[in-house]
Structure formats: structure tokens, C-alpha cells
Amino acid sequence: MRPARALIDLQALRHNYQLAREVTGAKALAVIKADAYGHGAVRCAQALQEQADGFAVACIEEALQLREAGIGGPILLLEGFFEADELALIEQQDLWCVVHSLWQLELIERSAVRKPLTVWLKLDSGMHRVGLHPADYQAAYRRLLASGKVAKIVLMSHFARADELDCPRSTEQLAVFEQARQGLVAEVSLRNSPAVLGWPQVPSDWVRPGIMLYGASPFEQAQALAARLQPVMTLESKIISVRELPADEPVGYGARFVTERPTRVGVVAMGYADGYPRHAPTGTPVLIDGRPSRLIGRVSMDMLCVDLSDLPGTGLGSRVELWGKQILASDVATRAGTIPYQLFCNLRRVPLLYCEA
Ligand SMILES: *Cc1c(COP(=O)(O)O)cnc(C)c1O
């Protein structure tokens, strides 16, 4: 079998979830949208089920996949519904539903729902993506309650720049939220991963950790709480070919790397078709049999090359960690001009292997 694979450490996942709860003292919805950021939503939900206060996904398709796998308890649809006919399923499957726009509110009012819904009413406090305008917020809250279709409302908003710890924008968004919700007696939910770790002053009955569950820091710089996260995914493969090249020889497509000295090149069974970023440049860190080395040349679809020159004893069959406990996905992401979220979500073709420890 091809040796490329992703190991998923479920114990680390539980540790990271527990950290989110511990540092906030809040209830936490484990955000497992997009197949748990590539980690496998069903297996992650099963691993967290005993502990978790609930789960959050992007859409009803993702929620139904969890229900079909036997996941009970709260599941929040972070974008609510897209079409009116989803409401019957939301009711039947007992899903929680974000309302981020007036058209959704109107559809709830006109729906035939009999068992009142739990709605998370989203405010646009300054991100300007989705969410109700502050001027409409209180009226929307009252209309939902008056509709008879809603039993409970949680007040929510989302930060645009919580990963920037010195940026005043989150404090401004919080002030807009506080103003808009004045006088409403309801639970609140504002904090995603960077706000869980970096913004202790933000009130929360419910937090919504995503990326931190998978052990990647949402911050670019070091941060004390983020240092306690444990990476969940190890993307690994093996060396399948080795060659000794003299100086001045090109390696890979486009000759993007030319040997500066006699170089021992290892070829790894891993490429951009597996989700390893094609834009990772020469110098991106890799780990070979536990020792640090670097990517060289262009990443191709199924293979990439690494430098074995300074690693005597390594060669055919050596184990290569592309990211995991030693090589942080955030570091690889930074080199490739992206974020760990995207690296995880882009994972494909490689089998996911789950381990408890
Ligand atoms: C995806 C998402 C989250 C989780 O964000 P992270 O940065 O991964 O923690 C939280 N809230 C909402 C509304 C989301 O869409």
C-alpha cells in the first residue's frame, strides 16, 4: 500500500476540547464542520460525544450525517437553513439553527413547525458577512418569540479579527453586541478559537472552538494557552526513492531547485493531490526518522522531494512527517502562504487512521 496517511489522535482532540471548556468556564459546541476540518466528522463526534455539550456544523447535510451515525444531543447549523423545506428536517432531527438574515426569520414565521425550535440569532457586529443589522436585532428577537415557532434564542455574533491580539476591533465588535442586546435576557455566544484563547474578557455562555480542537494555534505569534494545544493530525509518508546528485543538478518540475553541493535527494510519496500545499517552497520543514530536514523543489501531484544530505542512516523506507506533533501545520501553512485551516480541509486521498493515544 502507498504509505501516505494521516494519523488522528483522538486523545489529543479530547484534551483540546477540555481546554476550551476549562479556560472559559463555558459550555462548548465542538465545531466539526467541513468533515471536522478534514479530521473525519463522525469519528471526531464519537470521540467527543460523552464530553461535548454539542456540535456545530455548516449545513444540514453535515448534521444529517452525524445523526445517521447515531450522534445525539445538540447540533447547531452555523448558517441555518438555505431553503424553507429544510425546516421540517430541522424540527424532526432536533437541530439547532442559526438565523442570520431577515429572509430566514420570515420563513420561520410562515413555517408549519409544531415543536418550537432553538434559534441562535446572529448579529452583524462588524464583520459584515452575515448577521442581522444592529438596528433590526431587537425586533427580530421579538418577532421570533412572537411567532410561536421558537422556544429558545441564543444571542450570537462572530469576530473578524480575534486572532490579532493587539487589534481593537474585537473590543469594538463586543461593544456593538452589548448595545444591540441591551435588555434581552438570553444566553450569549461570541467566541471562536482565537477568542477562546486570547479574549478572556468576552462574556460567553457558549463558546465555539474549531481550529483549536485540532491542535493548531489560530495565532501567528506564540501564545501561552495555544502552547497547551496538542496537534491531532500527523500527516506522514515514506521515502520511496533516493538519488545522489552532484552540484548544479536540477530537481523536479521547472528545475525550481538546483543542488548547491553534492546532495542526497529523497522522494516522498506525498503530493498536492493529497492536500500537501503545492506552494510550499524549498526550505519548508519536514521530519525524517525524527530528524529535521527540508523540502526541496516543486511539490508535484503524488510526490515531493526532501534533502537527506545531512541525515546519514536515512533512506528508502524512512518515515517522513509532513506535519504533526513536531512539524506544526501552522508553520507549513505560513511557508505556503496559507493557514492551517486550509491545509486540514484540503486533505484528500490519504487514509485517516484513528488512534486513542
Ligand atoms: C467555523 C466557525 C467557528 C469556529 O472557528 P475557529 O476559528 O475554527 O475556532 C465558530 N463560529 C462560527 C460561526 C464559525 O463559522
- Ligand 1 centroid, distance to 209 Cα (angstroms): 6
Examine the domain organization and report whether 100 and 150 are in the same domain: yes
Examine the domain organization and report whether 40 and 124 are in the same domain: yes
Q: What is the distance of C-alpha 99 from the center of its chain?
A: 22
The answer to whether position 289 is within a domain reads yes
Examine the domain organization and report whether 299 and 207 are in the same domain: no
Residue 108 reports pLDDT greater than 70: yes
3-class secondary-structure state, position 205: coil
- Neighbouring residues of 292: CB distance < 8 A, sequence distance ≥ 6: 285, 286, 326
How far is the C-alpha of 333 from the C-alpha of 344, rounded, in Å? Answer: 10
Examine the domain organization and report whether 146 and 44 are in the same domain: yes
Residue 49 reports pLDDT greater than 70: yes
- Ligand 1 centroid, distance to 2 Cα (angstroms): 34
- Ligand 1 centroid, distance to 193 Cα (angstroms): 7
Percentage of the chain lying above the pLDDT 90 cut: 99
Residue 357 reports pLDDT greater than 70: no
Contact 57, 66 (CB under 8 A): yes
CATH number at residue 86: 3.20.20.10
Q: What is the mean pLDDT of residues 297-316?
A: 98
Using CA atoms of 74, 78, 79, 85 in order, give the dihedral in degrees to the nearest 10: -10
Q: What backbone torsions phi and psi does residue 45 show, to the nearest 5 degrees?
A: -65, -40
3-class secondary-structure state, position 355: strand
Is the shortest distance between the CB of 209 and ligand 1 below 6 Å?
Answer: yes
User: Ligand 1 atom closest to Cα of 158?
Assistant: 13
Residue 193 reports pLDDT greater than 80: yes
Is the shortest distance between the CB of 211 and ligand 1 below 6 Å?
Answer: yes
The answer to whether position 225 is within a domain reads no
Q: What is the mean pLDDT of residues 73-79?
A: 98
Examine the domain organization and report whether 66 and 95 are in the same domain: yes
User: Ligand 1 atom closest to Cα of 196?
Assistant: 9
Of 218, 250, 283, which closes a domain? 218
Examine the domain organization and report whether 278 and 133 are in the same domain: no
Nearest to 51 by CA among 11, 14, 24, 9: 14
The answer to whether position 292 is within a domain reads yes
Of 188, 218, 248, which closes a domain? 218
The answer to whether position 2 is within a domain reads no
Is the shortest distance between the CB of 208 and ligand 1 below 6 Å?
Answer: yes
- Ligand 1 centroid, distance to 106 Cα (angstroms): 25
Q: Which residues, in sequence order, are bridge partners of residue 243?
A: 265
Reported residue count of the chain is 357
Domain count, the chain: 2
Secondary structure string (H, E, C) spanning 147-192: CCCEEEEEEEECCCCCCCCCCCHHHHHHHHHHHHCCCCCCCEEEEC
Is the shortest distance between the CB of 32 and ligand 1 below 6 Å?
Answer: no
Nearest to 259 by CA among 250, 270, 268, 267: 250
Q: Which residues are catalytic?
A: 33, 253
Per-residue cell: 114: 409544531
The answer to whether position 183 is within a domain reads yes
Which protein residue has the closest C-alpha to ligand 1 atom 14? 78
Q: What is the mean pLDDT of residues 301-328?
A: 98
The answer to whether position 253 is within a domain reads yes
User: Ligand 1 atom closest to Cα of 193?
Assistant: 9
Examine the domain organization and report whether 186 and 248 are in the same domain: no
pLDDT in tens, 244-289: 999 999 999 999 999 999 999 999 999 999 999 999 999 999 999 9
Q: What is the mean pLDDT of residues 221-240?
A: 97
Examine the domain organization and report whether 248 and 199 are in the same domain: no
Looking at residue 130, the DSSP 8-state letter turns out to be: S
Is the shortest distance between the CB of 204 and ligand 1 below 6 Å?
Answer: no
Residue given cell 488512534 in the structure block = 355
Amino acid 65: pLDDT: 98
- Quick count: other Cβ atoms within 10 Å of Cβ 162? 24
Examine the domain organization and report whether 291 and 331 are in the same domain: yes
Nearest to 264 by CA among 289, 301, 296: 296
CATH number at residue 251: 2.40.37.10
- Quick count: other Cβ atoms within 10 Å of Cβ 174? 20
Q: Identify the H or E element spanning 286.
A: strand 285-288
Examine the domain organization and report whether 237 and 119 are in the same domain: no
DSSP for 7-66 reads EEEHHHHHHHHHHHHHHH-SEEEEE-HHHHHTT-HHHHHHHHTTT-SEEEESSHHHHHHH
The answer to whether position 283 is within a domain reads yes
Amino acid 356: pLDDT: 86
The answer to whether position 224 is within a domain reads no
Examine the domain organization and report whether 69 and 209 are in the same domain: yes
Is the shortest distance between the CB of 156 and ligand 1 below 6 Å?
Answer: no
User: Ligand 1 atom closest to Cα of 211?
Assistant: 8
Contact 215, 12 (CB under 8 A): yes
Burial of 146 (0-12, 13-18, 19+ CB in 10 A): exposed
- Amino acid, single-letter form, for residue 67: R
Examine the domain organization and report whether 172 and 58 are in the same domain: yes
- Structural domain of 58: 10-218
Is the shortest distance between the CB of 193 and ligand 1 below 6 Å?
Answer: yes
Q: What is the mean pLDDT of residues 191-217?
A: 97
Looking at residue 240, the DSSP 8-state letter turns out to be: E
Q: What is the distance of C-alpha 87 from the center of its chain?
A: 27
Of 186, 218, 250, which closes a domain? 218
